[in-house]
C-alpha cells in the first residue's frame, strides 16, 4: 500500500493482493515506525457509509470504503473511488483510493503485484 498526503488530500494505492484482501477480509493496514512512535494507515470496508470517509486517531489514518463499492472490485475495470469529505465550514478532505499500476519508467521497486498500466507508453 502506498499513501500520498498533500495538504487536504489523501491518496492510497493498492496492489492486486491488497485489493483482494480489502474486498475479502475488509481491512488492509500498514505502519511506519519512527523510533518510539509509529504512523499507521489503513483502508477498511464499512457498512455505515455511502461514500468514502476518513478518520484519524491514535496516529493512524483510516480510509473507510463503503462495501457496495468493493463488490466485484477485484475483477472489474474500476480503477478507484474518490470523494470530498467536509472537515469544517470551508474545508474538505479529498480522498482517493485506487489500484496501483506498474510504472512506465525504469523504477527499482518491486511492481510484480501491481496492475498492468493501461498506458503502454509515456
- Map out the domains of the chain as residue ranges: 2-99
Q: Is 18 helix (H, G, I), strand (E, B) or coil?
A: helix
**Amino acid 60: pLDDT:** 97
Judged on CB neighbours under 10 Å (0-12, 13-18, 19+), 65 is: buried
Percent of the chain scored above 90 by pLDDT?
A: 80
CATH of 2-99, one of 3.30.70, 3.30.1360, 1.20.950, 3.40.50: 3.30.1360
Do residues 16 and 110 lie in contact, with contact meaning Cβ atoms separated by under 8 Å? no
Is pLDDT at 117 greater than 80 in this prediction?
no
Is pLDDT at 67 greater than 90 in this prediction?
yes
Is pLDDT at 103 greater than 80 in this prediction?
no
Is pLDDT at 110 greater than 90 in this prediction?
no
**Amino acid 65: pLDDT:** 98
Q: Is 20 helix (H, G, I), strand (E, B) or coil?
A: helix
Is pLDDT at 122 greater than 50 in this prediction?
no
Residues 6+ apart with CB under 8 A from 77: none
Strand partners, 31: 40
**Amino acid 118: pLDDT:** 63
In 47-114 the beta strands, taken as DSSP E runs, fall at 53-57, 60-66, 80-86, 92-99
Percent of the chain scored above 70 by pLDDT?
A: 83
Amino acid at each position: 500500500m502506498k499513501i500520498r498526503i498533500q495538504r487536504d488530500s489523501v491518496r492510497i494505492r493498492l496492489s492486486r493482493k491488497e485489493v483482494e484482501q480489502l474486498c475479502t477480509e475488509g481491512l488492509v493496514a500498514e505502519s511506519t515506525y519512527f523510533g518510539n512512535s509509529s504512523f499507521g494507515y489503513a483502508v477498511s470496508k464499512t457498512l455505515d457509509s455511502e461514500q468514502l470517509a476518513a478518520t484519524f486517531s491514535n496516529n493512524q489514518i483510516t480510509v473507510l470504503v463503503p462495501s457496495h463499492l468493493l463488490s466485484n472490485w477485484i475483477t472489474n475495470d474500476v480503477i478507484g473511488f474518490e470523494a470530498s469529505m467536509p472537515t469544517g465550514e470551508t474545508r474538505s478532505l479529498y480522498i482517493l483510493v485506487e489500484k496501483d499500476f506498474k510504472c512506465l519508467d525504469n523504477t527499482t521497486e518491486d511492481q510484480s503485484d501491481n496492475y498492468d498500466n493501461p498506458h503502454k507508453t509515456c
